[in-house]
Amino acid sequence: MGTLNFIPSQNGLHYVNTWPEVPDLKIPTPFGPVAIGNAANGLCGGMALATRDLFEAHDAPPPSHQNPDPDSLAFNFIVSRLFDSFDLPGGVAKYLEWMNIPTHNTWVGPHGTSWRTICDEMPAVRASIDSGHPCPLALVRVHSANPADLGHNHQVLAYGYEDAGSATTVRIYDPNCPNDDGVTITFDTSHPEHTTDFTHSRDASPAILGFFATPYAPRNPAPLFSSTSTWVTHPGAAYDVGACGESVWVVGTNPQPGGYGIYHWNGGGWDGIDGGAVRIAVAPDGSPWVVNDAGSIFHREGGQWRQVPGGAHDIGVGADGSVWVIGTDVTPGGYGIYVYAQNAQWDRIDGGATEVAVTGTGMPWVVNSAHSIFERT
């Protein structure tokens, strides 16, 4: 038996896992971007990781039972932790594997989800709790070969367990049941080779087919305490800024070869990075793409700048990793519009523009030389 000094009504986020309509959330996978639903469908993985962040920082959660505003630092932090909870790219592959194997063992093929949960995952859950740390769990609740069904699964945070003979009870913080100290998952471990019933004490449907421990890396939970939207002044000066998730980069105002200095926000100040640029955008992995004053394009990879063929006046990167530029070839409306292709080349798109920004779905918005605004659909 192991139980942490954790009580969901005291240590868990107090608001329910119900959110307003915001743009669809997509995660990059080996099969292309997969929609995991509108935030209105829940941000359980983000809430589970954020709650562990609070526990590891020895912080009590925000006292409010009201959900953060959808444009607040707290909301954006929970969304970013949701993406973290999928442990890209390997985590998505594990979900999809578990969604496509039977619950029981077969004569040939891999062990079923029941055996994996009881024999592989529960030892990891026990070890985490015994070492003083809650354990995030991915609850597999759908059997499907369709990656689009990924969002039908669920995520919780385990903080205790009890083994009584062949009966095991796991105590969890469930974002769908805030302030409820009695939420558990119970099951019998005596025959893991057969389909096992994993019983959720509050939510019996859809059934839990199995669960696995998900990786965790700590983050500062301070944004959780900013639940309303406001402007915060930060030190420094810049000509351009790019951000994705928690990664923020700027092009400063100090002249450098190539334009102006490039800086990365470290949470409390700016770290100077080699090189110079005039325009900047940030990829989903937090790496910057820049354009310098000669129109050359560079991508930061492994702590080094890699020049990408082509030339540009402006650049934008979507949350799905799509990279778009405004080129240097004069055309009606400004300059040519290009998207980065899989073969490391630029595909020309009809139209002309002078500035570009890219949505989370990878589609560009542009402004042309007449100041008209266009969206690519």
pLDDT surpassing 80 at residue 305:
yes
311 — phi, psi (to 5°)? -140, 155
Query: Computed over its alpha carbons, how large is the radius of gyration of the chain?
Result: 23
pLDDT, one tens digit per residue, over 217-274 is 999 999 999 877 678 789 999 999 999 878 999 999 999 999 999 999 998 899 999 9
Please give the pLDDT value at position 24: 47
Of 154-158, 190-194, 318-322, 370-374, the range with the lowest mean pLDDT is 318-322
153 — phi, psi (to 5°)? -80, -175
| Measured distance CA(165)–CA(289) in Å, rounded | 57
Per the domain annotation, does 235 fall within a domain?
no
Per the domain annotation, does 230 fall within a domain?
no
Cross-strand bridge partners of residue 237: none
Per the domain annotation, does 234 fall within a domain?
no
Of 1-15, 116-130, 174-188, 248-262, the range with the lowest mean pLDDT is 1-15
**Residue 344's domain spans which residues?**
240-369
| Measured distance CA(39)–CA(41) in Å, rounded | 5
Please give the pLDDT value at position 317: 95
| Measured distance CA(2)–CA(212) in Å, rounded | 18
The two tokens of residue 362 are 């990878």
Q: Do 48 and 156 meet the contact criterion of CB atoms below 8 Å apart?
A: yes
pTM above 0.75, yes or no: no
pLDDT band at 330 (very low <50, low <70, confident <90, very high): very high
Please give the pLDDT value at position 240: 97
Mode of pairing for the β-strands spanning 210-213 and 167-173:
unpaired
Q: If you write DSSP's letter for every residue of 350-366 in order, what string do you get?
A: EEEESEEEE-TTS-EEE
Last residue of a domain, one of 190, 225, 260: 225
| Measured distance CA(2)–CA(94) in Å, rounded | 27
Please give the pLDDT value at position 32: 59
Last residue of a domain, one of 225, 251, 270: 225
Residues 197 and 245 in one domain: no
Per the domain annotation, does 377 fall within a domain?
no
Per the domain annotation, does 184 fall within a domain?
yes
Please give the pLDDT value at position 248: 95
Residues 46 and 142 in one domain: yes
User: Up-side HSE of residue 96: CA atoms within 13 Å toward CB?
Assistant: 16
Q: Summarize the confidence of residues 112-127 as an average pLDDT.
A: 97
Residues 93 and 172 in one domain: yes
Q: Summarize the confidence of residues 266-292 as an average pLDDT.
A: 95
> What burial letters (b/e) apply to 302-341, b meaning 16+ CB within 10 Å?
eeebeebebbbbbbbbbbbebbbbbbeeebebbbbbbbbe
197 — phi, psi (to 5°)? -85, 120
Look over the chain and give the mean of its residue pLDDT values, rounded to a whole number: 91
Q: The domain spanning residue 326 has which CATH number?
A: 2.130.10.10
pLDDT surpassing 60 at residue 34:
no
Residues 166 and 257 in one domain: no
Residues 107 and 221 in one domain: yes
Residues 170 and 284 in one domain: no
Whole-Å CA distances, 376 to 31, 201, 328, 373: 23, 47, 20, 10
Per the domain annotation, does 233 fall within a domain?
no
Residues 154 and 261 in one domain: no
Per the domain annotation, does 315 fall within a domain?
yes
Residues 63 and 108 in one domain: yes
Residues 283 and 181 in one domain: no
Last residue of a domain, one of 225, 254, 275: 225
Q: What is the CA angle 114-117-120, rounded to 5? A: 125
Question: 188, 32, 53, 178: which is closest to 117 by C-alpha?
Answer: 188
Residues 75 and 153 in one domain: yes
pLDDT surpassing 70 at residue 335:
yes
pLDDT band at 294 (very low <50, low <70, confident <90, very high): very high
The two tokens of residue 179 are 């302030």
Per the domain annotation, does 375 fall within a domain?
no
Q: Summarize the confidence of residues 357-371 as an average pLDDT.
A: 93
pLDDT band at 107 (very low <50, low <70, confident <90, very high): confident
Question: Which residue did the predictor score with more confidence, 140 or 359?
Answer: 140
The two tokens of residue 300 are 């930061």
pLDDT surpassing 80 at residue 33:
no
Please tell me the total number of residues recorded for the chain in this structure.
Answer: 377
Place of tokens 């301070």: 222
pLDDT, one tens digit per residue, over 43-100 is 899 999 999 999 999 999 999 999 998 878 898 899 889 888 888 777 788 999 999 9
Residues 37 and 105 in one domain: yes
Order of strands across the sheet that contains 364-367:
355-358, 364-367, 373-375
- Which runs of consecutive H residues, i.e. helices, occur in the chain? 8-11, 44-56, 73-85, 90-98, 113-115, 122-130
Residues 43 and 160 in one domain: yes
How many domains is the chain built from? 2
